[in-house]
Structure 1
Amino acid sequence: MKKKILVIAQYFFPEQFRINDICAEWVKKGYEVTVITGIPNYPQGKYYKGYGIFKKRKETYYGINIIRIPLIPRGKSSIMLMLNYLSFVISGFFWSIFTRVKADYVFIYEVSPMTQALPGVWYAKRKKIPCYLYVTDLWPENVEIVAGIKNQRILKSIGMMVDYIYKRSNRIFTSSESFIEAISERGIENNKIEFWPQYAEDFYVPINNKNVVINEIPQDDYFNIIFAGNIGVAQGLDVLAAAALKLKALGAKIRFNIVGEGRYKETLINIVEQNGVDYMFNFIDKQPSSRIPEFMSVCDATLICLSRSKVFSITLPAKTQSCLACGIPILVSADGEIQKVIKEAEAGFCSNAGDADGLAENILNMASSTKHDREDMAQNALHYYQTHFNKEKLLNRMDFWFN
């Protein structure tokens, strides 16, 4: 008889998150997978075309059964974002009470918000089955930094909710090794926590750019850098405008290709225009994840960027594995764990979060390096990915807990 996995993930297909691939792999392995998710609205803030309260509430994707519970779209304001988080919990509460879905395990894929874990915890408690939590964003730290909430009463309340979730999870997996210490400091025993890094989907591979034509990115004498993903406050992309000013003063021919959408995109566009460096920026609409390796193949380097904060310094963003797997030189503008990985891999150059001088210097060093040197960085990146983030090994490790 097939083992049944119930996955709680506020974001799921057609939203582009790694849990989509994890669930598809579990189906291939013979599990029966049901996903409880919301109505897709990330990152634009409004329901995707064809979806709504009365549209496509049930769906199948690569053999995965998808059930969409009602939620308020995240919109463009902090209030709407909070309502989005809250509505998923309320819908999930009633779903957990009245559902007839049966499962052997609950697996919670936690990217912000942590609140999404509550329906999974409640369901597991009712059914008396194991509950596994996968933490990719630390709360309440993430709320304080990203949402800008400073009220200590609110943060204390969120902290109590987080502790409630941790204590009622049978096992906690983390996407960053540094998270283990942060979670154990909340009174959770170490032997209950395990580092389970993210892997990149199979389409993240090096591509020969001779066979690729990407009209969105000019092929000229500019050094092309690509940033692909969510354009939010957390990404700290304002450092690019400051770095561009320094590069402009030196007459460097550098182009930042920014692929994606997000709450900070309009602000970033305004900043680069006000600084007179808009000619160095190429904003491209959000693309399917499967096309990103092609975009990378026609660029000279990729960028991983995060804001300066304690929580981001111990975070290993999913973008890291994608970039490594594509075998491309990497520029890092972030602190902590991500620098450790890229330096260990010898896959590129690192500067601290918000350090425009350091980033500009690294860009110049990368652009002036020989083609042979950049090819070495690319090969190092790929080798490190294959050694440390092997998909099959990671999925087999999760099988151990399921079986």
Structure 2
Amino acid sequence: MERKSQIPRKTHILVISQYFYPETFRINDMASEWVKRGYKVTVLTGIPNYPMGKFFEGYGYRSRRKERWNGMEIIRIPLIPRGNSSVGMVANYLSFAVSGFIWKAMTDIRADLVFTFEVSPMTQALIGCWYKKKYHVPHYLYVTDLWPENVESVTGIHSKAVIYPIQKMVDYVYKNCDRIFTCSQSFIEPISQRGISKARIEFWPQYAEDFYRPVKKEDSLEKPKDEVLNLVFAGSVGYAQGLGILVEAAKILKSENRRVCFHIIGDGRYLPKLQESIKANNLEDSFNLIPRKPAEEIPKYLAWADALLITLSKSDVFSITIPAKTQSCMACGKPILVSADGEVQEIIREADAGLCSDAEDVCGFVDNIKSFMELSTDRRNELASNALHYSETHFNKERLLGRLDEIFKIGA
């Protein structure tokens, strides 16, 4: 009797991420790539509400709680939308973790491994720990926001009554991970200081999705202002981004009759305050605010930029953070102006891809804008080329995903 050949079972990855499609985060592409590489992928996420703090149209407690997208199953557990207040954000964080605990207790989904994509909050990683303990599978954590440091920096809260429980939660999470990946080299030391062996921690930088690539100016979706230096910021318009420096810089540049326009693509909790500040200082001619666009369209909006902007607020934790937009900007092959501290400056300087000033240093930022205005076309093109080359060399998508394949296979 002829024996039927057995089809090998796909490795099943359970992705835990409080944010997922249609919210714009890099885990969307990672999960899609895992499907292409032959994995079975299930995503446990929340009801989309980031960054504006309200549920996306068509989503809610009773609608689209389960979806199929790009070959994977998406399960959306209830959470409280984050709104625009600190109380709402805390409720949002805790509600996802509580829903995750209930889901873990009731689910019969049997994955081979868990991958938690940690963009704040760290509380979402608890679900991965609980699932690991229930089904005895490896748990991998990707840290892009360092806790409790990020909490202290963003909220300004340093009370031991608040921070100590968070520290204990973080310690529990780290100890219940088989391997911890970090988006920044500088995260390794503070994580190891929490009693985690450096052998279990690995730097794994983010990469840019394939649609981030150089686009010709004639193919752009926005026409630049003529005879003006066009500087573009694309991404979340939050308090962490330190975008107030653009208003201060615009005031100085306008007083000196320098023609510069700051184009901001996106939305977020800081946007209303930014709009008020622009109006209060009569800077409408110096700004072009563009609503949030699909990530796939962003390169066509960046095409007409003279330079791209990476900004962050001043903070110890932000100084050891590499913003995700760093890889996106570099992959688009554009010169970059940085107003941020630490590791992102080191990358741009090492790549010779732009000009850098410290976070919230208005004078330094303005001086760099003036210096950039004086650069020759050849030098600007050189900076752009350097950015693209560095991206292809240091943030190579295939190499980075291949490394995760190796780890998943050995279960280390």
**Scaled by the length of structure 2, what TM-score is found?**
0.96
Q: Is the 8 A contact 1:300 1:328 kept in 2?
A: yes
1:262 is aligned, of 257, 260, 268, to 268
Partners in 1 of 2:275 and 2:373 — Cα distance?
A: 24
Aligned residue among 317, 338, 360 for 1:354: 360
Among 146, 149, 155, the residue aligned to 2:157? 149
Equivalent residue number for residue 186 of structure 2? 178
Residues 45, 75 of structure 1: 8 Å contact kept? yes
Contact (CA 8 Å) 1:246, 1:357: kept in 2 or not?
no
Cα distance in structure 1, aligned partners of 2:144 and 2:218: 36
Q: Identity over aligned residues, as a percent?
A: 55
Provide the alpha-carbon RMSD of the alignment: 0.8
Partner of 1:13: 21
Quick one: which of 168, 171, 174 aligns to 1:163?
171
Q: Give the AA of the match of 2:105.
A: I
Distance 1:148 1:92 in 2: 28
Residue equivalent to 2:226: 220
Q: Paired residue for 1:90?
A: 98
Report what 1:387 is aligned to: 393
Q: Quote the Cα distance in structure 1 between the aligned partners of 2:220 and 2:405.
A: 38
Unpaired segments ≥5 residues, structure 2: 1-8
CA distance in 1, matches of 2:119, 2:44: 14
Alpha-carbon distance between aligned partners in 1 of 2:80 and 2:260, rounded to the nearest angstrom:
41
Provide the residue aligned with 1:111 in structure 2.
Answer: 119
What residue is the counterpart of 1:319 in the other structure?
Answer: 325
Tell me if 1:273 matches 2:254. no
Q: Distance in 1 between matches of 2:145 and 2:334?
A: 26
Alpha-carbon deviations, 1:221-256, whole Å to 9, x = none? 111000000011100111111111111121110000
Instruction: Quote the residue 1:284 is aligned against.
Output: 290
Question: Residue 90 of structure 1 aligns to which amino acid in structure 2?
Answer: V
Following superposition, the deviation at residue 337 of structure 1 comes to 0.1
Q: How does 1:123-142 map to 2 (within 5 A)?
A: 123-142=131-150
Looking at structure 2, the residues matched to 297 and 58 of structure 1 have their Cα atoms a distance apart, in angstroms, of 36
Q: Distance in 1 between matches of 2:345 and 2:224?
A: 30
Question: Is the partner of 1:153 in helix, strand or coil?
Answer: helix
Is 1:345–2:351 an aligned residue pair?
yes
2:251 paired residue among 209, 227, 245: 245
Are the aligned partners of 2:219 and 2:303 in contact in 1 as well (CA < 8 Å)? Answer: no
> Matched residues in 2 for 1:49 and 1:208: separation?
33
What pairs up with 1:296-307 in 2 under 5 angstroms?
Answer: 296-307=302-313
Q: Deviations over 1:95-138 (max 9, x none)?
A: 01110111000000000000011111100111001000000000
- Of the structure 1 ranges 361-370 and 299-308, higher mean CA displacement relative to structure 2 is found in 361-370
Q: 2:242 matched to which residue of 1?
A: 236
Distance 2:83 2:53 in 1: 4
1:17-62 deviations in whole A, cap 9, x for unaligned? 0000000000000000000000000001110000000000000110
Residue 210 of structure 1 and its aligned partner are, at CA, apart by 2.0
Distance in 2, matches of 1:396 and 1:244, equals 44
Query: 3-state SS of the aligned residue for 1:34?
Result: strand
Q: Which runs of 5+ in 1 are unaligned?
A: none
Equivalents in 2 of 1:309, 1:184: separation in Å? 21
Deviates more, 1:306-315 or 1:265-274: 265-274
Secondary structure at 1:245 match in 2: helix
C-alpha distance in 2 between matches for 1:22 and 1:359: 34
Conserved 8 A contact 1:108-1:120: yes
Task: Find the partner of 2:217 among 209, 223, 247.
Answer: 209
1:246-290 deviation digits (Å, cap 9, x = unpaired): 111211100000110000011111112222223201111000111
2:4 paired residue number: none
Three-state SS of the structure 2 residue aligned to 1:276 is: coil
- Partners of 2:219 and 2:300 within 8 A in 1: no
Secondary structure at 1:178 match in 2: helix
Runs of 4+ deviating beyond 4 Å:
none
Structure 2 letter corresponding to 1:181: E
AA aligned to 2:28 is N
Q: Secondary structure at the match of 1:191?
A: helix
Contact 2:337–2:356, Cα closer than 8 Å, also in 1: yes
Larger deviation, residues 273-282 vs 101-110: 273-282
Query: Contact 1:307–1:354 at 8 Å: present in 2 too?
Result: yes
Query: For 1:197, what is the secondary structure of its paired residue?
Result: coil
In the alignment, is the contact (CA less than 8 A) between 2:224 and 2:305 conserved in 1?
Answer: no
Q: Secondary structure at the match of 2:317?
A: helix
Query: Who is 1:71 aligned against?
Result: 79
Q: Which amino acid aligns with 2:137?
A: I
d(CA) in 2 for partners of 1:183, 1:239: 31
Does residue 373 (structure 1) correspond to residue 390 (structure 2)? The answer is no
- Structure 1 residue 147: deviation in Å? 2.4
Report SS of the residue matched to 2:140. Answer: strand
Match status 1:332 vs 2:319: no
Closer/same/farther in 2, CA of residues 26 and 334 from structure 1, 3 Å limit: same
